[in-house]
Amino acid sequence: MPIMTVREALRQALHEAMQDERVFIIGEDIGHYGSTYGVTAGFLEQYGPERIRDAPIAESGIVGIAIGAAMVGMRPIAEIMSVNFSLLAFDMLFNHAAKIYAMFGGQMTVPMVLRTTNGWTQLSATHSQSFDVYFAHMPGLKVVAPATPYDMKGMLKAAIEDPDPVVFIEHTLMYTVKGEVPEERYTVPLGKARLAREGRDITVVTYSRMVHLSQQAANILARDGIEVEIVDLRTLRPLDMSVALESFKKTNRAVVVTEDWQSFGTSAEIAARLYEYGFDYLDAPIARVNFREVPMPYSKNLELQTVVTVDRIVEAIRKTLS
């Protein structure tokens, strides 16, 4: 099977999707600039400005237009350059994309995808955020955040084919992550978690980039004979906890690793569900590893103390096992 990066996998998914005449991409600097993270580089030349729509810096307009176009049979993919700017489009997402199907009694669908990206690297307070929990909180949206090139391609394809609005969350520090991606066309269904690593001692429940950091932590712990099982949730709404619960019932201990602020964050929901449905299997309090709860500092040293690191995951696992 060919090995490729997350970026290349996403590009393949988009190229395949563009074969459907209804699909078009709208976003800032996706065409003339050559794409902020290189995902749509060359698309303008290949598909033309009608379908690769360089948009003004107007996030609300971009998402609103995607919603309207979706309502009349198009399959728009709106790209929000980074998730930080999605705040300007929250009204569109929350009050329209998420509600139009239910609020009008199922008359209309909004088959759009919003692609955006989390991430940080000395970009400081306003450019280093994660709003996974805001998206995932909203009934009516489907929210996915895959970790591997295989899932990136398969789930982006599934998201584009889905009749409901899907928020597709990438990560700036993952575009160069490599993995196997088959040549043939395939989709990976939304709403299905997967086992990313088998182990009998403890369960790490996580998603997106934290899957890779958790793997590194597991490799370190493996040297001490500790077997870590890793569950990659892949989709945040709806949240499939079946794989995590099955694992938890075996290991009886869990660490939840998410790259966002802890209070009321995604890890709170995940841990709550483990307690709710796995209480009888609990041998130790569930630990959480997240961002420190501060606006992201610029200073490299402080930034590295704020984000989730492999060391912090290792430490949390050891503590939960002790």
* Catalytic status, residue 293: no
Structure tokens at 270: 């995940």
CA nearest to 29, candidates 16, 40, 45: 40
139 is an interface residue for another protein by CB under 8 A: yes
The 8-class DSSP code of residue 173 comes to: G
60 is an interface residue for another protein by CB under 8 A: yes
Separation of alpha carbons 184 and 285, rounded Å: 44
Separation of alpha carbons 169 and 114, rounded Å: 8
313 is an interface residue for another protein by CB under 8 A: no
Structure tokens at 88: 């300007």
105 is an interface residue for another protein by CB under 8 A: yes
Candidate list 59, 79, 170, 229, residue with the active-site label: 59
Query: Do residues 317 and 286 lie in contact, with contact meaning Cβ atoms separated by under 8 Å?
Result: no
Least separation in angstroms between residue 189's CB and another protein is 8
181 is an interface residue for another protein by CB under 8 A: no
Candidate list 15, 16, 127, 315, residue with the active-site label: 127
CA distances from 260 to 14, 118, 129, 208, 241 (A): 28, 10, 7, 12, 19
100 is an interface residue for another protein by CB under 8 A: yes
Separation of alpha carbons 66 and 74, rounded Å: 9
109 is an interface residue for another protein by CB under 8 A: yes
* Cis bond upstream, residue 182 (ω within 30): no
Nearer to another protein, 89 or 287 (CB): 89
* Catalytic status, residue 59: yes
Q: Which stretch binds another protein (CB under 8 A): 147-155, 185-193, 249-257, 303-311?
A: 185-193
Of the candidates 64, 119, 149, 179, which one interacts with another protein according to CB under 8 A? 64
The 8-class DSSP code of residue 267 comes to: H
**Can you give the binding site for another protein, defined by CB under 8 A?**
24, 50-51, 55-56, 58, 60-61, 63-74, 76, 91-92, 95-96, 100-109, 111, 139-140, 142, 162-164, 189-191, 235, 238-242, 245, 273, 277
Q: Could you give the residue numbers annotated as active site? A: 59, 127
